[in-house]
Amino acid sequence: MYLSNVALNKGFLKGEKSFLLLLCCFLIGCKASQPLKPMNLPNDQKMYPYYEEGAWGLNDAAGNHLTKPIFEEAHISKFGMSLVKKDNKYGYVNSKGKYSIKPKYVKATDFVPYFSTHNPIAKVQLKGVDYFINPAGKKVTLYNKKRDPFKVYENNTSQVTDTLDFVIKSNDKYRLNYHYLSKSSKDLDSLIHDTTSIAFDTVYLLQGRVICKQNNKYGFLTRSQLKGVPLNTNPFKKHYHEKGVFKPMVECVYDTIEYPDCRSKQPNYGYLKARLSDKWGIITLSGKPVTSFDFYSIKRIDFPGKALVEYEADKFGYISIQHEGTDRNPAYSIVEHFKR
């Protein structure tokens, strides 16, 4: 009996050791299969393209050159890397101005978050094959192939107004219907309806704002102004006016207004580009100036508030738009990522 118990205990210990060995192998294997740790780069190491001497380079946030202008394309950095094009091939440059992935791809995208910011991926093409890579340049497989983070969204921005219910067209001119609450009426909820005395050449609707053109100049008003709400006041509060006193205010001052291009192909809902005399600037959808009007051109405005501007003849760089103040009374400051 004693011998059999000893043998049994030895067998148990042997089995226990085997089990522990298998468990350790399993845990090591699980650890090895964990995703790579994310690149934790601070925001102040953003890189911004600049253009001079017929080519693109990269600046740091202060406008210092990280690379010479040697690229055919250069993009704002994402997750610490900028997409660049050299000799007709795409690669990636890190925040030190060095290649993190040398140019070799026929097509490539910026890095984008996939499910979370800890898993950025880019879509590339090499030798006719499309696939996804991580920041280390390794091929990765999507968890959910139906969820494509590189889907393109088309802009759908403005609407010409022959079909708008508040517009009256007569003799190729446009007037605006509006209404407001009467202060003198016994019925405090009674509306007075009227029509603008000013006749406009063109009227557009853009995301709740009305753009009017008169004598080749453009101006803005909001839909709430057509409902008796004065500009820059609470649109959810009831505003009462004496009959004939309230009129929507439109000041047409801009020579040209254009919806900006956007690299991501997604609608940029915040800003427009406008021209005064021979220089360009950026304005809000309400017509409020965001930048001074001292740029030769504005090539595009990307979300969130990054604009590629021509600050000298044939010299381009990026600016960042900093939103300050409140939503009702916003203020803006500009950071230039280039040196004049």
Instruction: Among 79, 112, 140, give the residue marking a domain's end.
Output: 140
pLDDT at 7: 39
Give the pLDDT confidence score for residue 4 in this predicted structure. 40
- Pairwise CA distance, residues 220 & 202, whole Å: 12
User: How do residues 89-105 score in pLDDT, each as one tens digit?
Assistant: 999 999 999 999 999 99
Compute the average pLDDT of residues 195-214.
Answer: 86
Clarify whether residues 181 and 102 are in a common domain.
Answer: no
- Complete edge-to-edge strand list for the sheet that includes strand 256-258: 256-258, 271-276, 279-284
295 token code pair:
């740029």
**Which of the pair, 150 or 106, is modelled with greater confidence?**
106
pLDDT at 146: 57
* pLDDT recorded at residue 29: 45
Q: Are residues 264 and 236 in the same domain?
A: no
The last residue of a domain, from among 216, 241, 266: 241
Among 186, 207, 241, the domain-final residue is 241
Q: Structural domain tally of the chain? A: 3
Residue, of 215 and 303, whose pLDDT is higher: 215
Domain presence at residue 249: no
Higher pLDDT among residues 270 and 109, named by residue: 109
Across 106-258, where does the E strand assignment appear? Answer: 107-108, 112-114, 116-126, 129-133, 139-140, 159-160, 167-170, 173-182, 191-195, 202-206, 209-214, 217-222, 240-241, 256-258
> Same domain for 196 and 172?
yes
Pair (123, 193) in one structural domain? no
pLDDT band for position 27 (cuts 50, 70, 90) = very low
Taking the alpha carbons at both ends of the chain, their separation in whole angstroms is: 95
251 vs 149, higher pLDDT: 251
Number of Cβ within a 10 Å radius of residue 271: 21
- Is residue 22's pLDDT more than 70? no
Do 180 and 93 belong together in one domain? no
The label of the residue with tokens 């990636």 reads: 92
| pLDDT tier, 260 (very low <50, low <70, confident <90, very high otherwise) | confident
Say yes or no: 187 and 210 in one domain: yes
C-alpha 291: how far from chain center: 17
Spatial neighbors of 127 by CB under 8 A, at least 6 apart, are 106
Model pLDDT, residue 100: 95
In a domain, 30, yes or no: no
Instruction: Tell me: do 270 and 330 sit in the same domain.
Output: yes
- What's the Cα-to-Cα distance from 320 to each of 79, 261, 305, 309, 338, rounded to whole Å? 17, 16, 6, 11, 11
Percent of the chain with pLDDT over 90: 43
Say whether pLDDT at 264 is over 80: no
What's the mean pLDDT in 14-35?
46
**Chain centre to alpha carbon of residue 322:** 13
- The answer for residues whose C-beta is within 8 angstroms of residue 150's C-beta and 6 or more apart is 109, 112, 123
Cα 324 to chain centroid, rounded: 17
Tell me the mean pLDDT in the region 203-210.
82
Residue 246 placed within a domain: no
Higher pLDDT, 188 or 275: 275
Identify the residue whose tokens are 């992935």.
101
Task: Provide φ and ψ at 13, rounded to 5°.
Answer: -65, -40
Q: Which domain holds residue 222?
A: 159-241
Q: Would residue 266 count as lying in a domain?
A: yes
132 and 53 fall within a common domain: yes
pLDDT at residue 14, as a whole number: 47
Q: Please return the burial class of 208, using the count of CB atoms within 10 Å of its CB with bins 0-12, 13-18 and 19+.
A: exposed
233 and 287 assigned to the same domain:
no
Q: What pLDDT score does 196 carry?
A: 87
When the pLDDT of each residue in the chain is averaged and rounded to a whole number, the result is: 80
pLDDT of residue 72: 98
Summarize pLDDT for 133-191 with one digit per residue, the tens.
999 999 988 766 656 666 544 443 444 444 567 888 888 898 999 888 888 776 667 88
pTM: 0.74
Residue 122 falls within a domain, yes or no? yes
pLDDT of residue 198 exceeding 70, the answer is yes
Residue-level pLDDT at 285 = 84
262 plus 304 within the same structural domain: yes
In a domain, residue 110? The reply is: yes
Whether 106 has a pLDDT exceeding 60, the answer reads yes
Q: Is the pLDDT of residue 6 over 70?
A: no
77-86, 238-247, 306-315: least confidently modelled range: 238-247
